[in-house]
Chain A
């Protein structure tokens, strides 16, 4: 049991998180409080959903970069549309509409990937440029701060409240519930459904998966549908948190999200990656942010630290593989000489 845990890909980010928390906690005891935990959860939630949107694509062996643009077009168009109609209600309409737009944009990617046999990366490059341009030109080019009454105060809708040494009061934000529901659903979907297994199979070896009888086009459709819906949802959530809707939401953050997924133990070549690992990866990047602030290292060094961790993190498996190959080669040689 323990051996299995140590060998799993989620083990390394978990260890880094624990060690980092303890070190920072020793330097600044303010770090190891419930308030920090709740703040961390709140800051991570949107990015966890965004990362979970991308995760199935990564497991599939592809890299999509358009999900951030989908989040922007879905949330901003929804907001501007409802604003023009004087909508004053709550989250539900926003979420339904944004998810629908997201689903459409996701299926748009899938259509090009399936119909014209194109790499996911190339298609997403085109659609990300297209969607940001579309939003900025056709929908609106400035952030909008007129949020409906139903969303006023949403950013502080807490399940429980605690006092915070810095900001006064904070709490466990209600959005943690969405994250839990989405995470459990995605975990179940990836592990226990035929399509979910198919995603891993394609990521492992596309040819074999195809010959085994997995319907690759249908799996693409489902994967991009999930990506679109979750991206739209993350966009609305971010808008309600920051109390403004922005046409360039998340721009340039697609690679940061990808980095978090990789830190969570997913393989860039596909076939490997888990929901838990992805959540840990996002939490890790958020902890690094906070750790730098609390240990009084200027926050500007955050990217430097992430880069260093990424280098170490991606080099270790590569070095291991190299060694395995070398061992394999020498044993092969030995076998050959023995046979002779």
Chain B
């Protein structure tokens, strides 16, 4: 019996995946099985439910990758959500300045309505879609400069830029939500390809690109090297500043894509969209996925995202009609994280023991 057990553990150790990925996959399977059984009558795995899950998890998932690449180089990027919102807001602001509403039509003070004409120059639409991406890159340059070149601790530098971007978006819109985006923009969030919602496809593609970047390129190696040991990386001839700068630019770029998806899904832009929860949620996903400076796999982010979305949708279905059912997910996420911490603690302990013997 004892021998068999050890053999089983050996097999697991020899699998070509990390133990943490395996743990996450097991949890994901458990979550899916559990909710498929208890929510069988409500259709947890029905096409409609899976589709809506796919749309919801894409925007946070992309922000989580944006957060993850910075964690990998030993940093953090608190400004991911602020960057996403600023990009969308500036795009809306540009359209609003081009097509202001007629002066007499006083719209309620909480909205700023873009007065889109029937037909519009496609060039303008392209510019409106490019603005967020440019904002993302600029935000990355600013963060990268502060962290890499000036040497401000990442948590402070990005806390500052988060405040800066949120404030800029709030100031420009006077705290209002911009609405009335051109209907052509709807295609990003409301289209599907082969039955799969486009945002989810974008998320999958970005996960793939990031995977290749991190695991198959020298730049990814440099990133992990820098995250593991800054000094060793510098002395092995890596230009730390340059790596940090490029990492933050990539992070900002990813954030702005998430911003475009939100803009397209809600057809609006607001400085405060997701402000209270999104940033911490993306860090939470990173921690759940076991991302640390130098270590971590973007696949883990993807699986963690599926787990969190599964728990969220699953509990909401299960507790339908119960007061405050939408909030049980937060509780379950927190508890799940603590459980994973404890499991990791014991696996690490047993790993160390077996290494000793």
Contact = CB atoms under 8 A, between A and B. Distances in A.
B334 A126 contact: yes
Nearest to B157: A314
Contacts of B167: 300-307
A137 B171 contact: no
A307 B163 contact: yes
Contacts of A126: 284, 287, 333-335, 337-338, 341
Given A131-B334, A300-B174, A321 B276 contact: no
Interface residues of B, number: 50
Interface in A217-268: 251-252, 255, 258-259, 262, 268
A130 B335 contact: yes
B331 interface: yes
Nearest to B172: A300
Contacts of B327: 132-133, 136-137, 141
Nearest to A306: B163
B324 interface: yes
B83 to A, nearest CB: 13
Contacts of A252: 275-277
A127 B332 CA distance: 11
Nearest to A310: B160
Nearest to B332: A133
A134 B327 CA distance: 8
A311 B146 contact: yes
A300 B160 contact: no
Given A128-B280, A303-B163, A137 B328 contact: yes
Given A126-B341, A303-B164, A315-B152, A132 B330 contact: yes
Contacts of A307: 160-167
Nearest to A134: B331
A123 B329 CA distance: 18
Nearest to B342: A116
B156 to A, nearest CB: 4
Nearest to B329: A133
Interface string A291-307: 00000001011111111
A318 B155 contact: no
A136 B159 contact: no
B296 to A, nearest CB: 13
A117 interface: yes
B170 A301 contact: yes
A310 B158 CA distance: 10
Contact of B284 (A125, A141, A306): A125
B343 to A, nearest CB: 10
B56 to A, nearest CB: 17
A315 B164 contact: no
A133 B315 CA distance: 12
Given A129-B330, A310-B156, A311-B160, A319 B171 contact: no
A255 B156 CA distance: 10
Q: Classify the interface of chain A: helix, strand, loop or mixed.
A: helix
Nearest to B161: A307
A18 B341 CA distance: 47
A65 interface: yes
Interface string B314-357: 00000000011101111111110110011001000000000000
Contacts of A315: 146, 150, 152
A130 B162 CA distance: 25
B226 interface: no
A161 interface: no
A133 B330 contact: yes
Nearest to B319: A137
A298 B174 contact: yes
A297 B94 CA distance: 22
A88 interface: no
A9 B231 CA distance: 28
A118 B346 CA distance: 12
A63 interface: yes
B153 interface: yes
A288 B155 CA distance: 22
A308 interface: yes
Interface string B183-216: 0000000000000000000000000000000000
Contacts of A329: none
A28 interface: no
Nearest to A125: B284
B175 interface: yes
A319 B156 contact: no
Contacts of B57: none
Contacts of A65: 280
A122 interface: yes
B262 to A, nearest CB: 17
B172 to A, nearest CB: 8
The 9 nearest A-B residue pairs measured at CB: A130-B334, A304-B167, A133-B330, A307-B164, A133-B331, A252-B276, A303-B167, A307-B163, A136-B327
24 contacts: A116-B341, A117-B345, A123-B338, A125-B284, A126-B287, A129-B331, A130-B333, A132-B330, A133-B334, A137-B327, A137-B330, A252-B275, A252-B276, A255-B159, A259-B159, A298-B175, A300-B173, A300-B174, A306-B163, A306-B167, A310-B164, A311-B152, A314-B160, A322-B150
Given A304-B166, A315-B146, 13 more contacts: A117-B345, A125-B284, A126-B337, A130-B337, A133-B330, A137-B328, A251-B276, A303-B166, A310-B160, A311-B160, A318-B150, A318-B153, A319-B150
